[in-house]
Structure 1
Amino acid sequence: MIISKKIILPVAFAAVIMIFGSCSNKNVAYFQNSNIVNLEQSRVLYDARIMPKDVLTITVSTSDADAAAPFNMTVPTQLTQSMRTTTSQPLLQSYLVDNDGYIDFPRVGRLHVGGLTKSQAERVILEKIKPYMSKAETPIVTVRMSNYKISVLGEVTRPGMYTVTNEKISILEALAQAGDLTIYGVRNNVKLIREDSTGMKSIHVLNLNDANIINSPYYYLQQNDIVYVEPNKVKAQNSSVGSMTTLWFSATSILISLTSLLYNILN
């Protein structure tokens, strides 16, 4: 079947006009009102807080290695090579925060760290381990969150789950890791799904077109946050048109085949 250029060119031109006409600068550009934003409100140093089900790595350092050894429990790991098994260097014991915000720490026992920042948890642990050391020791406690992850879904270039190594990430940094929004992403209606320490879920709407987003309490993401970017009407229309076009070509192909078969039979 031959389609005339007189039909193809107007249709292609109309499609281009529809796509680029719908994606105006007003809908695509970030921080459109940046010249009137009060930046003083954004002067906040964010610290992630420990949540239930977080996995913590806790290291105690002292001048005398033997003094810190009881608090630096290790877990042996195994590596399989061909038909034999060898043991690699042990890893530090990790600590799972339970639903009530507690961990079980060597010698000290149960410690409540839920809701604390990393530095606050370090101070709590430091005070608890001092009685087990000589007064000459000045231990250093380091707490890290091993499972700080966020998910980015929808109309982004690389949707997926991302690990945050520095325990701090903004909504813009998360989208940058995912390759930014596609041209079809709705920028003024980005959904943030969050679960608090009690298990309560909440959904928050973020407008990337508005520069005031930097003052939003949801500008910085928490561990396990989910960011969803919904498609705009153009993407939805294209999906619908694509499906209908496939069905139309399939039906046309079948009709042509039947017509050709009947023609051969009757002649």
Structure 2
Amino acid sequence: MKKLLNVVLFAVLCFILGSCASGKHIAYFQNADSVSLEASKGLFDARIMPKDLLTITVSTTDPKAATPFNLSVTNTLNSSGVLSTGGGALQTYLVDNDGYINFPVVGAIKVGGFTKRQCENAIREKILPYMSKTENPIVTVRMASFKVGVGGEVKSPGVYTVDQEKISVLEALARAGDMTIYGRRENVLLVREDSTGQKSFHRLNLNDANLINSPYYYLHQNDYIYVEPNKVQAQNSAIGSSVTIWFSVLSVVTSVASLVVNVLR
């Protein structure tokens, strides 16, 4: 009976240690010293997509020449329906489903699929005929709605605005406080929607340094990163509040087994 009691206690101890053990492959880029980064050369440029919001500024030597192209939001309705002054914030332009914006004076301009620089050049060409030959306008375009989402086994899941219009998978995870110890680093899910509305899933292995050479290392606007829980966390979630009950039952069983051993001595 003593042997039986020892077996029970040993099994309970193994269960506890097994449940609390950390998952393997915690470190990112474990093979970093053996991976060539040749394919990662080149600077990333985000492409403008339907439903993006753009801020566009036109600068000229004569301020009056740029005025018709720099619309500002001066009057808005607050939550109470009262008209208030907006402080001269720049008007944003919504890219429609066909990739066009409706720009002052010139009308529709195709910008979908363009980089920021290409968009600036396209707008500049459209407004040049409306200016004197001595003017050399400077057009500045910014993406006002570049956001990515991060969820699952991270410390601070949420949607994050990217001001610099460029963010990698690692940077997105860092903004979310990084993965918890229970996140599956070898099977991170990237959900992406292209300019036609087609959704796609991509699996990323953050243990492998080859990720830096991947076309999915840099995120596009509206990408969503989901970190799956590992087996330990999944088991803990499945057990949930019943853990206390199970430990109570095991405690009772252990006490009964100990009592039986003492009686049979």
TM tier relative to shorter chain: 0.7 to 0.9
- Amino acid corresponding to residue 143 of structure 1 in structure 2: V
Relative contact order higher in (CA < 8 Å, ≥ 6 apart) = 2
Partner of 2:238: 240
Classify the secondary structure of the residue corresponding to 1:35: helix
What is the TM-score with the length of structure 2 in the denominator?
Answer: 0.84
Classify the secondary structure of the residue corresponding to 2:177: coil
Contact 2:74 2:87 in 1 (8 A): yes
- Amino acid corresponding to residue 32 of structure 2 in structure 1: S
Contact 2:39 2:213 in 1 (8 A): yes
Task: Give 1:42-191 correspondences, 5 Å limit.
Answer: 42-78=40-76, 86-191=84-189
Q: 1:249 to 1:30 in 2, by over 3 A?
A: closer
What is the TM-score with the length of structure 1 in the denominator?
Answer: 0.83
Partner of 1:15: 16
Contact 2:23 2:230 in 1 (8 A): no
Classify the secondary structure of the residue corresponding to 2:93: strand
**Per-residue deviation, 1:75:** 1.7
**Per-residue deviation, 1:248:** 5.8
Identity of aligned residues (%): 62
Number of residue-to-residue matches in the alignment: 242
Contact 1:97 1:103 in 2 (8 A): yes
Residues 195-238 of structure 1, C-alpha deviation per residue, up to 9 Å, x if partnerless?
00110000000000000000000000000000000000000111
Partner of 2:254: none
- Amino acid corresponding to residue 187 of structure 1 in structure 2: R
Contact 1:152 1:174 in 2 (8 A): yes
Residues 139-183 of structure 1, C-alpha deviation per residue, up to 9 Å, x if partnerless?
100001110000001000100000000000000000000011100
Task: Give 1:244-255 correspondences, 5 Å limit.
Answer: 244-245=242-243
**Per-residue deviation, 1:243:** 3.4
Listed as ranges, the gaps of 5+ residues in structure 1 are: 1-6, 252-267
Contact 2:185 2:205 in 1 (8 A): yes
**Per-residue deviation, 1:138:** 1.3
Listed as ranges, the gaps of 5+ residues in structure 2 are: 1-7, 250-265
Alpha-carbon distance between aligned partners in 2 of 1:250 and 1:103, rounded to the nearest angstrom = 66
